[in-house]
């Protein structure tokens, strides 16, 4: 009986994080301006933000971004992406983002 109570508690906690769809849409709308924008990592590498998404298990915001030079897609917590590791660049041509 104790195990069932613990499992039920975990289930309820996981659903406490859920928000109404309208609230999720409003939260995502705050990030429309960075969709398809280009960024350079501090250690090198150029990337384009493809999506902002929710991690299903925690409902934390994540960045879905792709390498400009390779056919690879990554995800990273939004807070971590925005903590200074990446710098936004205005344009591929202007910034020389592909040049190293």
Q: Which residues of the chain have pLDDT under 70?
A: 1-17, 91-100
Q: Give the integer Cα–Cα distance in Å for 49 and 59.
A: 19
Q: Tell me: domain 19-95, CATH 2.120.10.70, correct?
A: no
Instruction: Give pLDDT, residue 20.
Output: 86
Q: Give the integer Cα–Cα distance in Å for 1 and 62.
A: 37
* Among candidate residues 31, 12, 100, 71, the one with its CA nearest the CA of residue 40: 100
Q: Give the integer Cα–Cα distance in Å for 19 and 44.
A: 37
Instruction: Give pLDDT, residue 19.
Output: 79
Residue ranges of domains in the chain: 19-95
């Amino acid at each position: 009986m104790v195990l069932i109570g613990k499992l039920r508690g975990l289930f309820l906690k996981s659903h406490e994080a859920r928000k109404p769809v309208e609230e999720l849409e409003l939260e995502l709308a705050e990030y429309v301006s960075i969709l398809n924008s280009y960024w350079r990592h501090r250690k090198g590498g150029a990337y384009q933000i493809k999506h902002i998404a929710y991690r299903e298990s925690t409902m934390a915001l994540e960045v879905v971004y792709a390498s400009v030079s390779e056919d690879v897609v990554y995800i990273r917590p939004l807070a971590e992406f925005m903590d200074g590791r990446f710098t936004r660049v205005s344009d591929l041509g202007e910034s020389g983002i592909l040049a190293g």
